[in-house]
Amino acid sequence: MIPETLNLWPIILVLGLGTFLIRFSFLGLFADKELPGWLLRHLRYTPVAVFPALVAPLVAWPEATGGAPDPARMLAAFATLGVGYYWRNPLYGFLAGFATLYLGLALL
């Protein structure tokens, strides 16, 4: 058990250093500088791209159903998108998706 643990620690240290350097490149080097306008325009779309990439697999292939599509989760996703788009408020979308998911799971 000890040799396997000794091989794991260098990997953990290198990955920790790598993530530190990635974060430091923005926080430490550019903290007191004004970023160019073109970069700020591109960074504005980062959450819009990352959030659906995190949620889509959970809707299309939920682990709770063994990877099979579930109508309750699909309805909740469509309710979230519809309410969020109509009212332009993410909180309303989240609440609609939450309510639709639990109502769908109870009824279906």
64-79, pLDDT tens digit by residue? 888 898 999 999 999 9
83-95, pLDDT tens digit by residue? 999 999 989 999 9
Structure confidence at residue 2 (pLDDT): 59
40-50, pLDDT tens digit by residue? 898 888 888 89
Per cent of the chain over pLDDT 90 is 47
| Cα 74 to the center of its chain, rounded Å | 18
Q: Write out the DSSP string of 1-66.
A: -HHHHHHHHHHHHHHHHHHHHHHHHHHTTSTTSPPPHHHHHHHTTHHHHHHHHHHHHHHHS-GGGT
